[in-house]
DNA sequence: CTTTACTTTGACCAAATGGTTAAACTAAAT
DNA sequence: ATTTAGTTTAACCATTTGGTCAAAGTAAAG
C-alpha cells in the first residue's frame, strides 16, 4: 500500500511522524471509536477494529498496548465531548433563559451527530464507575457555574424554585432519552417513514418551550 | 446437595417437576437475570450464571439450549415489566392528571426496584433492533390508550397542546435518566453521602410538579 | 425390582479472542 | 552506505468461552 512520508524537520532526535494522508495511528483510533460505539466494550473485537482501520491486529496493539488502554483513550475524549462547551454561553452577563436554550441546543445538535455517545457512556459508567470518577477529575469538568446561574435566577424569583441539579437532569434527560431509545421509537411511536426525523427537527424548540413552561420562564421573548 | 422431591400426582405421563424449595430451572433463570443485568449480553458468561445459580454449566444449556435463547427469555419478561401496568389506572373515567401522576409513580417505583432495567433494555435495543420489533408485537403493548387520553385533554384545552408522544417521552425520560446515570451523579451532582438517595425520595413529587407546570395542569388539587 | 423419564455432572472440544514475538520494512540521520 | 529508530506484518500462543456428550443419578410408575 502506498506509503508516503512527510518530513517535519525538528531538533533533537524526534523524527516520529510517518504521517500519511492520515496516519495509521489515527485511522486505528477512528476505527476503534466506531466499533466501540456500536458494539460496546465487551462485544468489540480487536480484529474488527484492525480490519476497519485497514491495519494488522498487531499494529493496533503496537500503538495502544491493549484493549483496555485503547478503550480508555476513546472514552476519555468522548466523555469530554458529552460536556458541551457551554463556556461560550457564559460570556457577558449570563441569562438563565439563554443558558437553558443554549444547553438544549448544544445537546440536541451533539446528539444528532453522535447518537451512540449516550449509550456508550452509560455502559461504561456501569462497567467501571471507579474509572469514571478519576476521569471527571482529570477533565476538570465542573457544572457549578451552570448551577450558580440557575440558582441565582431562582432566588431572584425569575423562575420557579427547585433544585438546580434537578432542572439540569430533567433537561438533559429529555434531550438524551429519545436518542437512546430511538430504535424503539421507530417501531412504537413514530412508525411512519421519516416521522421520527421530522419530530427531531422540531424538538429543539418544543423542548425549550416545555422547559420554559415548567420553570416559569417566558417561552417567547425576542 | 440435598434433593427433595415433591409429587404432584397427575394424569398422563407428566411427572416433570422435581421441585425443590426452588427448582433449579428457576434458580438459573434468576441468576441469569442478575448476571445479564449487571454485565450485559456480551460480557455475561455462562459459567458465571451457572456458578451464581449453584449449578453446572451444562445444566444451564440443558434448560435453555444456548446463551441467546436464555437471554431472549429474560429480555422478554424484562421488557414487559418496563411497560408498567397502567391498566389499573384506566378504570373509571380516565383523568389526565391522575394518569400522569400514576405514570410517574409507577416508573419511579419500578426503577427504584430495578435500576438496571433501562440500561439493559437500551443495550439490547441497539444490539438487535429487529428482535425488539418482533417482541413488541408479541407483548401486545400499545401506548395508544394513554395517548388518546392525553390527546383528548389537550383538544379540550385542559392542558397545553403538544404532541402527546413527546409528553410521554419527556416524562419517561426524566424518570429514567437519573437512574441510568446514577453512578455518575454520585460523583458529580450529589457527592455527599446519602444525598442522592434523599433526592430520589422526593423525586416523585417534584417530577410530577415539573410536568404539571410544563403542561399547564394544576400542581395541587386534592 | 425394573423400567422410565427427567435431571445433573465431569470431561471434553472447536472456535474465538486478546496478546506476543521476531523478523521484515521504511525513511531520516550520520 | 550504514546506522538508527520507528512502523508493519505473519505466525504463533495461552486462555477463555459457548457448547456437546455420554454416563451417572434420582424419583415416580408399572
Do residues A195 and A209 share a domain? yes
What does the pLDDT average to over B95-105? 92
Tens digits of residue pLDDT in B2-11: 233 333 333 3
- Contacts of residue B178 in chain A, CB cutoff 8 Å? 169, 173
Q: Is strand C within 7 Å of residue A137 (CB)?
A: no
pLDDT number for residue B188: 86
- pLDDT beyond 60 at B12: no
Q: How far apart are CA B135 and CA B72, in angstroms?
A: 10
Let me know: does A154 contact A100? Beta carbons within 8 Å.
no
Do residues B151 and B186 share a domain? yes
Q: Is strand C within 7 Å of residue A39 (CB)?
A: no
Residue A205 pLDDT class (50, 70, 90 cuts):
very high
| Chain B nearest C-alpha distance from A72 (Å) | 17
| Residue B50 is assigned to a structural domain of this protein | yes
Residue of B165, B188, B210 with shortest CB distance to A170: B210
| Inter-chain CB proximity A187 and B119 less than 8 Å | no
pLDDT number for residue B222: 61
> How many CB atoms are closer than 10 A to CB A189?
20
| Residue A19 is assigned to a structural domain of this protein | no
Q: Any idea what the CATH number is for the domain that residue B36 is in?
A: 1.10.10.60
pLDDT number for residue A9: 35
Name the residue in chain A with its Cα closest to that of B159: A213
The residue among A101, A215, A219, A157 whose CA lies nearest residue B213 is A215
Residue written as cell 441539579? A165
Q: What angle do CA B53, B59, B64 make, to 5 degrees?
A: 95
Residue A222 pLDDT class (50, 70, 90 cuts):
low
| Inter-chain CB proximity B41 and A41 less than 8 Å | no
pLDDT number for residue B84: 65
| Residue A59 is assigned to a structural domain of this protein | yes
The contacts found for B25-34 with CB under 8 angstroms, 24 or more apart, are: B25/B63, B27/B53, B27/B54, B27/B55, B28/B53, B28/B55, B28/B59, B28/B60, B28/B63, B28/B64, B29/B73, B29/B74, B31/B55, B32/B60, B32/B64, B32/B70, B32/B71, B32/B73, B32/B74, B33/B74, B33/B78
Task: Give the CA distances from residue A124 to residues A54, A143, B119, in Å, rounded to whole numbers and listed in that order.
Answer: 27, 21, 11
**Residue-wise burial string across A24-52, b where 16 or more C-beta atoms lie within 10 A, e elsewhere:** bbebbbebbbbbbbebbbebbebebbbeb
Instruction: Count up the domains in chain B and report the number.
Output: 2
| Residue A11 is assigned to a structural domain of this protein | no
Task: Give the nucleotide with minimal C1' distance to the Cα of A56.
Answer: D9
| CB pairs < 8 Å spanning A and B | 142
Do residues A73 and A89 share a domain? no
Residue A219 pLDDT class (50, 70, 90 cuts):
confident
Name the residue in chain B with its Cα closest to that of A195: B165
Q: Is strand C within 7 Å of residue A5 (CB)?
A: yes
| Residue A152 is assigned to a structural domain of this protein | yes
Let me know: does B127 contact A183? Beta carbons within 8 Å.
no
Mean pLDDT computed over every residue of chain B? 85
| Chain A nearest C-alpha distance from B21 (Å) | 33
The secondary element (H helix, E strand) that includes residue B150 is helix B144-155
Binning chain B into helix, strand and coil, the percentages to the nearest 5 are 70, 0, 30
Do residues A60 and A150 share a domain? no
- pLDDT beyond 60 at A62: yes
Do residues B108 and B183 share a domain? yes
| Residue A12 is assigned to a structural domain of this protein | no
Residue A154 pLDDT class (50, 70, 90 cuts):
very high
Do residues B102 and B191 share a domain? yes
- Domain end (from A79, A113, A148): A79
Do residues B60 and B161 share a domain? no
Do residues B103 and B176 share a domain? yes
- Contacts of residue A132 in chain B, CB cutoff 8 Å? 183-184, 187
| Inter-chain CB proximity B133 and A187 less than 8 Å | yes
- Which structural domain range is residue B28 located in? 24-74
| Residue B99 is assigned to a structural domain of this protein | yes
Do residues B51 and B94 share a domain? no
Tens digits of residue pLDDT in A80-105: 887 766 666 676 777 899 999 999 99
Do residues B51 and B99 share a domain? no
**Residue-wise burial string across A140-171, b where 16 or more C-beta atoms lie within 10 A, e elsewhere:** eeeeeebbebbbebbeeebbbebbbbbbbbbb
Q: Which of A91-100, A205-214, B171-180 has the lowest mean pLDDT?
A: A91-100
What does the pLDDT average to over A51-77? 95
B180 CA, D18 C1': Å apart:
30
Give the residue, B161 or A127, on which the prediction is more confident: B161
| Inter-chain CB proximity A174 and B170 less than 8 Å | yes
- pLDDT beyond 50 at A14: no
- pLDDT beyond 90 at A145: no
Q: Which residue is nearest to nucleotide D6 (CA to C1')?
A: A16
| Chain B nearest C-alpha distance from A44 (Å) | 9
What does the pLDDT average to over A115-143? 83
Do residues A72 and A89 share a domain? no
Do residues A94 and A45 share a domain? no
- pLDDT beyond 70 at B176: yes
- pLDDT beyond 60 at A6: no
Tens digits of residue pLDDT in B16-44: 444 444 689 999 999 999 999 999 999 99
Tens digits of residue pLDDT in B139-161: 777 788 889 999 999 999 999 99
Residue of A43, A125, A211 with shortest CB distance to B42: A43
Q: Is strand C within 7 Å of residue B56 (CB)?
A: yes
| Residue A104 is assigned to a structural domain of this protein | yes
| Inter-chain CB proximity B123 and A119 less than 8 Å | yes
Amino acid at each position: 500500500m502506498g506509503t508516503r512520508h512527510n518530513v517535519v524537520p525538528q531538533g533533537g532526535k524526534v523524527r516520529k511522524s510517518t504521517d500519511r494522508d492520515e496516519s495509521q495511528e489515527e485511522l486505528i483510533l477512528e476505527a476503534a471509536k466506531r466499533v466501540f460505539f456500536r458494539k460496546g466494550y465487551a462485544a468489540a473485537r480487536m480484529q474488527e477494529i484492525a480490519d476497519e482501520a485497514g491495519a494488522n491486529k498487531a499494529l493496533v496493539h503496537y500503538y495502544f498496548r491493549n484493549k483496555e488502554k485503547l478503550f480508555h483513550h476513546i472514552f476519555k475524549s468522548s466523555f469530554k465531548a458529552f460536556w458541551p462547551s457551554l463556556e461560550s454561553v457564559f460570556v457577558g452577563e449570563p441569562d438563565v433563559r439563554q443558558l437553558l436554550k443554549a444547553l438544549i441546543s448544544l445537546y440536541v445538535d451533539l446528539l444528532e451527530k453522535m447518537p451512540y455517545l449516550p449509550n456508550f457512556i452509560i455502559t461504561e459508567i456501569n462497567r467501571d464507575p471507579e474509572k469514571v470518577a478519576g476521569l471527571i477529575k482529570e477533565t476538570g469538568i465542573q457544572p457549578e457555574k451552570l448551577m450558580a446561574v440557575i440558582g441565582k435566577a431562582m432566588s431572584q424569583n425569575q423562575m420557579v424554585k427547585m433544585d438546580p441539579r434537578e432542572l439540569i437532569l430533567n433537561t438533559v434527560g429529555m434531550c438524551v432519552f429519545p436518542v437512546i431509545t430511538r430504535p424503539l421509537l421507530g417501531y412504537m411511536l413514530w412508525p411512519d417513514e421519516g416521522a421520527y426525523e421530522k419530530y427531531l427537527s422540531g424538538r429543539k424548540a418544543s423542548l425549550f418551550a416545555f422547559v420554559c413552561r415548567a420553570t416559569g420562564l417566558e417561552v417567547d421573548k425576542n
